[in-house]
Amino acid sequence: MVEAARQEFSERGYGATSIRDIAQRAGVSLSALYYYYKGKQDLLVAILEDGLDAYFSACDAALAAAGDDPAEQLEALVAATVRFRTEHPVKSSIVLTEGRSLEPEHLARYRKNEARGTQQFREVVERGVAQGIFLTPYPDDARRAVIAMCNAIAEWYKAEGPVSLDELVERYVSLALIVVEYRPRAVRRAARGT
Amino acid sequence: MVEAARQEFSERGYGATSIRDIAQRAGVSLSALYYYYKGKQDLLVAILEDGLDAYFSACDAALAAAGDDPAEQLEALVAATVRFRTEHPVKSSIVLTEGRSLEPEHLARYRKNEARGTQQFREVVERGVAQGIFLTPYPDDARRAVIAMCNAIAEWYKAEGPVSLDELVERYVSLALIVVEYRPRAVRRAARGT
Amino acid sequence: MVEAARQEFSERGYGATSIRDIAQRAGVSLSALYYYYKGKQDLLVAILEDGLDAYFSACDAALAAAGDDPAEQLEALVAATVRFRTEHPVKSSIVLTEGRSLEPEHLARYRKNEARGTQQFREVVERGVAQGIFLTPYPDDARRAVIAMCNAIAEWYKAEGPVSLDELVERYVSLALIVVEYRPRAVRRAARGT
Amino acid sequence: MVEAARQEFSERGYGATSIRDIAQRAGVSLSALYYYYKGKQDLLVAILEDGLDAYFSACDAALAAAGDDPAEQLEALVAATVRFRTEHPVKSSIVLTEGRSLEPEHLARYRKNEARGTQQFREVVERGVAQGIFLTPYPDDARRAVIAMCNAIAEWYKAEGPVSLDELVERYVSLALIVVEYRPRAVRRAARGT
DNA sequence: CATGAATGAGTGTTCATTCAT
DNA sequence: GATGAATGAACACTCATTCAT
């Protein structure tokens, strides 16, 4: 039932989706749907929360497996994000576009929760800059660029494409490090040594 | 009237906007609206076409002022895109999100038209790669990353922000060149000379 | 459960009360309610019957304690009615207003039963008139007036009011006797003696 | 359209009346109804306001034609009320029973407006008591009794009845004067003179 | 004995659209 | 050229009720 709603919301948008479409797609009666969910908005809330939770879980797992190094952590976040956008394109597209369909009472909480995603990237980038391994002079814009390019994947990625997922991850990790102008210490030390 | 529709579509999304909202916002009667436009879909088509046209005009003008150099051309496209996203956030957001609200009969043509934007970036990036001044090993991903980061500006940019528009343009141009791993010939020759 | 239904019917009216409201107020499950009652209409029937029964019991008890004298009997009926309206305002308001919500199959029987109330007043008033102690020239209108004024108490009486219940009873008894233009025999004989 | 709503509300009660019933009875489409009225509640508000206005107009006219004498004024009010209840039984029944169906935002204003009816009776009765021509020891209860008996007429009166309207008015005026224990000055002076 | 799950009809309301004038 | 009036379909949602367990 949530899955049917997710599909419909993702395809038509929340506003253009009728709750009957959802019920039909889910193969349940209209009343059955209302037995489990309070209404259309309730479905959206459930879907958005689940979307964020799933994404954050993936990020947390990736970060847990990474060390203290900001570069390693940025790689972890980018890899997690790219994987999530490709493996869950529907969840992704809803989370990325339907926040605005939330009614005021749910919106504030959601936006706050959503901000955690940005915050994780911000901290990593800033630490990298502080440690002198991310040379970008515009940490905020670099962060936004990295997030934007990862998120955009959800719009065009098709599993059947010519590029494997692992390859795609590698490319975006590489792009992200380029954007923040990553220079590993070893190289710098070597360079300094010259 | 189109302006009112643009505002409403941008704020609520096409599906969630009622044609009465538009008429009211425009300060005209419902009938008047129907006198000038065939319907809601007609308004959307007009808005999307105008949005693309305006954007392409800006790109064309920028390209016309640039020389043959792919780097210069990429700079021109990025600058034009950043300026358009900041100066016309409403037009931008609709063009970037409401394509899916087009009915099948208009969709194909629109998607084709829309692709011109990508195409312009693609040509420039590929020429830069061919000329050996863009070193990126993934021209497609680099292009998508550049477009995505420019487009995302429409979502967060506020005119009152601390960064001037010119500064912002400069930053994104710089970021774009980094993403495609631009190495000017002079530098390379010098490097080779070492 | 009946009590919850009574409260809801009384507050919102039968038509505007949902059976879920009743179940919730009673603190039982919807199914439990249907286990004990056939449906919403069944609850109404039970409540209305109980309301009439309780009222008639009170009237019967009052009449039993009164003698043969129509004045005494009218006093008894008025006192019983006033007490019932004040002590059972919820039962009263439903009986007085929700008869019309009965479906045809129950309506006829109920109206007939309900008529007993009027009938008791009618008999007493007519006997008083026949005996020449109620001088009212319009026995029917006087009866209706007495009943109406007693019934109306249910709409405004609040237990915390400044007037005690006993005092209120006394006043309405007095008013009723005035309405029927009661003249005790003793007085009339005295008057005749002049 | 209002008339159809009045009939339906009066017969089934506001809560049990469907807006489709109203449209059908009025012989208009559902949408036409919504073109003229904002909704079901809006219809109720219109009907209740009109009901009160019509009644108050009748009272005002009657009072205007009456002199200063409280008895004369009470007669005027009772006559106006009886006439209104008999000539407009539907308006009457709605005003008398559906106030509670108003949503909170309209309720307060309505109750206040409604109170003018009581107030007019109160003033007249109190002036009569102050002038010593209404001997009732319970002016409030007498007033309530008079109002209740007049209002109740709406519930049972049928135009085809055996009693003419003029006769009915006369009877209720007479009953009202009895309830307030009216004693004209002339009589009292004469009595005093003995 | 009691209930969670489900249903189809119906609720009030809004929709995009048309049309007579 | 411009609009007030009207419409039928659809909307999100609630209803009283049933039934398998």
At residue A139 the predicted structure's pLDDT band, cuts being 50, 70 and 90, is very high
Considering CB atoms only, which of A16, A178, A181 is closest to B15? Answer: A16
Question: Neighbours of B (≥3 Cβ pairs closer than 8 A)?
Answer: A
Q: How far apart are CA B82 and CA A148, in angstroms?
A: 14
Q: Which residues of A111-145 are buried (b: 16+ CB within 10 A; e: fewer)?
A: eeebeebeebbbebbebbbeeebbebebbebbbbb
pLDDT tens-place string over residues A106-130: 999 999 999 999 999 999 999 999 9
What sections of chain A are H helices per DSSP?
Answer: 2-12, 19-26, 30-36, 40-65, 70-87, 89-97, 104-130, 139-156, 165-179, 185-193
Vertex B70, ends B67 and B74: CA angle to 5°? Answer: 95
Tell me if B1 sits within 8 A of B36, measured CB to CB. yes
Q: Which residues on chain A are in Cβ contact (under 8 Å) with B40?
A: none
pLDDT of C188 above 70: no
**CB–CB of D144 and C148 under 8 A?**
no
> Which residues contact residue B160 at a Cβ distance below 8 angstroms, ignoring those fewer than 6 apart?
none
Q: Is the pLDDT of residue A4 over 90?
A: yes
| Residue C178 dihedral angles phi and psi, to the nearest 5° | -65, -45
The DSSP call for residue A170 is: H
pLDDT at A193: 47
D177 token code pair: 């004067």
Please classify residue D123 by burial: count the beta carbons closer than 10 Å to its beta carbon, then call 0-12 exposed, 13-18 middle and 19+ buried: middle
Q: What is the pLDDT of residue C161?
A: 83
What is the spatial distance between Cα B139 and Cα D16, in angstroms, rounded to a whole number? 68
Q: What is the mean pLDDT of residues A167-183?
A: 96
User: Between D70-87 and D139-156, two packed helices, what is the crossing angle to 10 degrees?
Assistant: 20
B178: nearest CB among A144, A148, A181: A181
Q: Rounded to an integer, what distance in angstroms lies between the CA atom of residue A141 and that of residue A136?
A: 9
Higher-confidence residue of B194 and A164: namely A164
From CA B35, how far away is CA A49, in angstroms rounded? 43
Q: Which of C169, C156, C155, C179 is closest to C96 using CA atoms?
A: C155
Confidence of residue A49 (pLDDT cuts 50, 70, 90): very high
Name which of D93, D136, D144 to mutate to probe chain C: the one with the most chain C Cβ atoms within 10 A of its Cβ.
D144
For A51, list phi and psi in degrees, rounded to 5: -60, -45
Q: Is the CB of A30 under 7 A from strand F?
A: yes
Residue B161: predicted pLDDT: 83
Q: Is the dihedral of CA B190, B192, B193, B194 positive or negative?
A: positive
Burial of B42 (C-beta count, 10 Å sphere; 0-12/13-18/19+): middle
Average pLDDT of the residues of chain D: 93
| Dist CA B121 CA B146 (whole Å) | 9
Amino acid at D82: V
Query: Can you tell me the mean pLDDT for B158-182?
Result: 94
Structure tokens at A102: 């939330």
- Per-position b or e across C112-125, b if 16+ CB within 10 A of its CB: eebeebeebbbebb
Query: At residue A136, what are phi and psi to the nearest 5 degrees?
Result: -50, 130
- What DSSP designation does C164 have? -
Note the pLDDT of residue D190.
52
C-alpha to C-alpha distance for A87 and A91, rounded to whole angstroms: 9
What per-residue confidence (pLDDT) applies to A191?
A: 54
Average pLDDT value for residue range D53-74: 96
**What is the token pair recorded at C143?**
């009866």
Judge contact between A75 and A146, C-beta under 8 A: no
Above pLDDT 70, what percent of chain C?
95
Apex D180 CA angle, D175 and D184, nearest 5: 95
**Over residues D142-150, mean pLDDT:** 98
What are the structure tokens assigned to D55, written together? 């009644």
Report CB contact under 8 Å: A148, B144. no
Nearest to D92 by CA among D141, D43, D47: D47
pLDDT exceeding 70 applies to what percent of chain A? 95
Chain B contacts of A13, Cβ < 8 Å? 13-16, 100-101
Predicted local distance difference test score (pLDDT) of residue C22: 93
Please state, rounded to an integer, the average pLDDT across all residues of chain C: 93
Q: From CA A169, how far away is CA A84, in angstroms rounded?
A: 11
pLDDT at C190: 53
The residue ranges of every structural domain in chain A are 49-193
| Per-residue pLDDT, D161 | 82
Residues on chain C bordering chain D, Cβ-to-Cβ distance under 8 angstroms: 11-17, 97, 100-101, 138, 141-142, 144-145, 147-149, 151-152, 156, 168, 171-172, 174-175, 178-179, 181
- CA B115 vs. chain centroid, Å, equals 11
C194 touches strand F (CB under 7 A): no
Q: How far apart are CA D82 and CA D151, in angstroms?
A: 8
Residue D112, pLDDT score: 96
**Cβ–Cβ gap D16/C12 under 8 Å:** no
Q: How confident is the model at residue B87 (pLDDT cuts 50, 70, 90)?
A: very high
A148 class by beta-carbon count within 10 Å (0-12 exposed, 13-18 middle, 19+ buried): buried
Burial readout B121-157 (b: 16 or more C-beta within 10 A, e: otherwise)? bbebbebbbeeebbebebbebbbbbbbbbbbbbbeeb
CATH for C48-193?
1.10.357.10
Q: Provide mean pLDDT across the span B50-75.
A: 96
Angle, alpha carbons D168-D53-D87 (nearest 5°): 25
Compute the nearest-CA separation of D15 from chain C (Å).
4
In the DSSP assignment, the letter for residue D122 is: H
Residue-wise pLDDT tens digits, C105-134: 899 999 999 999 999 999 999 999 999 999
pLDDT tens per residue, range A14-40: 999 999 999 999 999 999 999 999 999
Tokens encoding B160: 């009152």
Tell me how far apart the alpha carbons of residues A72 and A67 are, in angstroms, rounded to a whole number: 7
CA distance D158 to chain C (A): 14
Q: What is the 3-state secondary structure (H, E, C) of B52-110?
A: HHHHHHHHHHHHHHCCCCHHHHHHHHHHHHHHHHHHCHHHHHHHHHCHHHCCHHHHHHH
Q: How confident is the model at residue A169 (pLDDT cuts 50, 70, 90)?
A: very high
A90, A111, A93: which is closest to A102 by C-alpha?
Answer: A111
Facing residue for C149 by CB, picked from D16, D101, D144: D144
Per-residue pLDDT band for C186 (boundaries 50, 70, 90) equals low
The overall average pLDDT reported for chain B is 93
Q: Is the pLDDT of residue B169 over 50?
A: yes
Model confidence over D127-141: pLDDT tens digits?
Answer: 999 999 999 999 999
Q: Three-state SS for C182?
A: strand
| Sign of the alpha-carbon dihedral angle for A68, A71, A76, A77 | positive
Contact B33, B22 (CB under 8 A): yes
Checking if the pLDDT of D186 tops 80, the result is no
Burial class of C105 by CB neighbour count within 10 A (0 to 12, 13 to 18, 19+): exposed
Residues B139-150 have pLDDT tens digits of 999 999 999 999
- For tokens 């009728």, the residue is A18
CATH among 3.40.50.720, 3.40.50.300, 3.30.420.40, 1.10.357.10 for B49-193: 1.10.357.10
Query: Residue range B124-143: average pLDDT?
Result: 97
| pLDDT given for residue A116 in this prediction | 96
Task: Categorize the per-residue pLDDT at B186 as very low, low, confident or very high, splitting at 50, 70 and 90.
Answer: low
The structure's pTM equals 0.86
Give B96 to chain A, closest Cα distance, Å. 11
Q: What residues pair up with B107 in beta bridges, in sequence order?
A: none
Dihedral of CA B27/B33/B36/B37: which sign? positive
